[in-house]
Structure 1
């Protein structure tokens, strides 16, 4: 067959285009979000403070240490006080006050998880969660980033806890949110059991909505839930790695959420160290999670995919500090941070976060710039090279890629917001139930919806939020409260209703509070 010179040049040009496209597809980074449930800022041997604490010495997380040496540690990373709001903020790029899923979603359809309260009627929040379709009652209609990644050619995988929406709604299934593979993810927010001997809650006659699906091959074995999910995750990575297709893995462990059950591979060492049984079980859940991280890192290295894979380690809210089920004095389990899960105090929202991005992030880097969970949305899309995309929602997050490229990056003018117009647990606690908060620079203000009072802390000098400086800095209180109120109003954030009047609680910064 003969070619003209022009035809040959054209053929070579087309060949080069396809070669370049194939090369570009291979070079797009794989991305893993390793999301832990209920893990506190101090639940690790990696110190995220300026010093190593007794809690850091209690736990054993060598693979987190390894990841921190190979990547960047964020010392001021934030989520929301409880799980579903964080998970939806991550997928949509919206602040929880904006998407209005301000408490955890019940696995039951059309049921609010709020507790009854003597003072307030419930706020009108989106208690059925996230929806990729319009007109689903009590949901936020939004475009999740896994769908955008899938549309751009990524192989998208979800493993573990989903908990984005109530059962019977379209958002309850990861398949409807852009994931091509789903293992173990459904409407429930915790496992009925971590034990394969219990079929992870699926024994006939003992099933509940919290029974973990999809892991039948491990029934009756000694395989702890964390291990089973890890093994399944590694199986799903074989095809995209072999086919040189970029992948996104949402590795969302149920650990370390209650029920606090012993991972027998690690439990005895903590008993021998003198911990109470429930705390030894808790520590074993942490170490089992850490082993999963190491197994994934080892697999990537063995498959020669390590250098083109981003790993983002994060927790969805602070460590549980209610007693029971924890041991000891309530709300001391995250010291030096105040309180824990459910609280807008630092113990409920500040998280252990590490990012490894070979060729971009310098090893052993430490960033003090504050970031928040909705920032994951624009960051991940920027990592994947998506510059032009359409979403149903208006996003609030900001990409932290500039921080990854420069650990010294600083923006102390940005404000972060938290909003919990809900009664999460029956009894109020520090920062728990009916609270909003704002952080700008080193200053943080907390607004109490019950009486309109405020608390003001300088986190640089007082990370434990022990010195309320409201009286000493009235102008700072006024400025932050006004800013918080303006933003909540702009988002049309839900507020509880006062039973006596039927009126919504006043926004912070309004006259009379």
Structure 2
């Protein structure tokens, strides 16, 4: 059966008298999460409502379509790398508290780069686990949680995981979304990237990053993003036919490397003159843009499915988010390293600067959100946990973990409403791709409050202060101009990290634990 017929069948209307109706008090919820997508990697503007040159590079008509349907958040944030963000979505905890502060893969193995000067603290490199685990093996270097899908499942939701999981190490229960409260798991495991996006390459079978569960597509000329979308839409038919509310966690591997050629879209970008770069797009950049457009097509297929089932659409909330900033290194992306890739923000994935943590985010809530609107309420990724539960009408739940997230439902229902929501980042780790502390990489913690972003580098004790309202590119360090703001934010950051029982690196030469931000 060809791909076009498969997708046509997947988005066809569901003829059932039992389909969800607009009168239902329990909404369906779709969380559409993209991997490694920078906040400007789209034709939808997320900065000052004006298109940047990066926005002009990409073609994402379905993101534009969703933006017309709902609200864009212009100050949405996540962790700088993947697993911490995904664990925060599942748990409602800040990374400082769940301690899965770097990306995970193999059991009992840290993924940090080696260092001659720092000893990395004993973080939770085995990821999060369901709160039912009891054995020493499953409790080692991990955080047991009452997961978001488990609570939804217990409150009558049919829960579907599709795509990348990456919140538990191999051989642990948390590596399998089915143990975390999902009724259906499509292609989710411990791996943080696809071994390959290509069905002709069996999606990387045999590699450490192989995508499992997609064997039916082995050998087919199909891109992983398309195959996952077909499977997700097929899975939705069951709860719709049974008149059950559903939660679909559509968690794409795209747009993470490897940049395999998605030939459906790549030709339009290959060699195309780019205003930002003042050059033609190279092969890597053309392939990257094609993967972005393939992700956008998936969003469009889901929107088409809902359009063909209007009773379902009128009762379905969609949230769109990326898990960390886009790549900022020119070994994989074209342009000036840490400047062009997420412009006007600085740096990228793995960095404390805005390019590493600022995300594209949209919400469509029928009858609640106003189409083509903007909202500058600050949102951090752990906020999705209490927000989704409030959307679902779930008010009685008792998770084993402390919830750091703050629901942004009121900001959706009352667009003019704003609340102060300090945002904290904690990365006492060493990301494997670069240790350039000048560009915000290396071991750091940070706080964003009001106009100011304070970045604390653990190894050196350096503190940098930026007014992100006026200087989104974080080029002007104001730490010597406003020492009182530095002291105030250092104290607030230090107090939060202590309250969260956050771990700290150790200086190898002295074997002393690095000082808290307010002790330097």
Specify the TM-score bucket, using the shorter chain as the normaliser: over 0.9
8 Å CA contact 2:199, 2:217 repeated in 1 = yes
The answer on whether the counterparts of 1:436 and 1:448 sit within 8 Å (CA) in structure 2 is yes
Q: 1:23, CA displacement in angstroms?
A: 8.2
Aligned counterpart, 1:261: 260
> Which aligned pairs between 1:144-293 and structure 2 lie closer than 5 A?
144-202=147-205, 207-273=206-272, 274-293=280-299
Deviation at 1:450, TM superposition (A): 1.6
Structure 2 unpaired stretches of 5+: 1-19, 273-279
C-alpha contact 1:116 1:426 (8 A) present in aligned 2:
no
CA distance in 1, matches of 2:44, 2:415: 18
The yes-or-no answer on 1:44 pairing with 2:42 is yes
CA–CA separation in structure 1 for the residues paired with 2:457 and 2:167: 27
Provide the aligned length of Structure 1 versus Structure 2. Answer: 484
Contact 2:22–2:314 (Cα < 8 Å) also in 1: no
Q: Are 1:80 and 1:316, in contact at CA under 8 Å, matched by a contact in 2?
A: yes
Which one of the candidate residues 316, 319, 338 is aligned to 1:312?
319
Q: CA deviation at 1:216?
A: 1.7
Q: Distance in 1 between matches of 2:442 and 2:179?
A: 32
Unaligned regions of 5+ residues in structure 1, if any?
1-21
Aligned CA RMSD, in angstroms, stands at 1.3
Answering whether residue 68 of structure 2 is matched by residue 102 of structure 1, we say no
Q: Does 1:488 align with 2:491?
A: no
Runs of 4+ in structure 1 deviating by more than 4 angstroms, as ranges, are 22-25
1:338-487 → structure 2 map (5 Å cutoff): 338-412=346-420, 414-425=421-432, 427-429=434-436, 430-487=439-496
TM-score computed with the length of structure 2 as normaliser: 0.91
Greater shift in the superposed pair: 320-329 or 285-294: 320-329
- The answer on whether the counterparts of 1:80 and 1:418 sit within 8 Å (CA) in structure 2 is yes
In the alignment, which residue of structure 2 is the partner of 1:327?
A: 334
- Whether the 8 Å contact between 1:183 and 1:214 is mirrored in structure 2 is yes
* 1:464-489 deviation line (CA, Å, top 9, x unaligned): 11111011101000000010001101
Deviation at 1:243, TM superposition (A): 1.5
Q: Is the 8 A contact 1:436 1:447 kept in 2?
A: yes
Larger Rg: 1
State the Cα distance separating 1:328 from its structure 2 match: 2.3
Q: More displaced, 78-87 or 121-130? A: 121-130
Among candidates 25, 28, 35, match of residue 27 of structure 1: 25
Alpha-carbon distance in 2 for matches of 1:347, 1:32: 26
**Is the contact made by 1:40 and 1:347 (CA closer than 8 Å) also made in structure 2?**
yes
Report how far residue 26 of structure 1 moved.
3.8
CA distance in 2, matches of 1:346, 1:249: 29
Give the TM-score normalised by structure 1.
0.93
Deviating more after overlay: 423-432 vs 74-83: 423-432
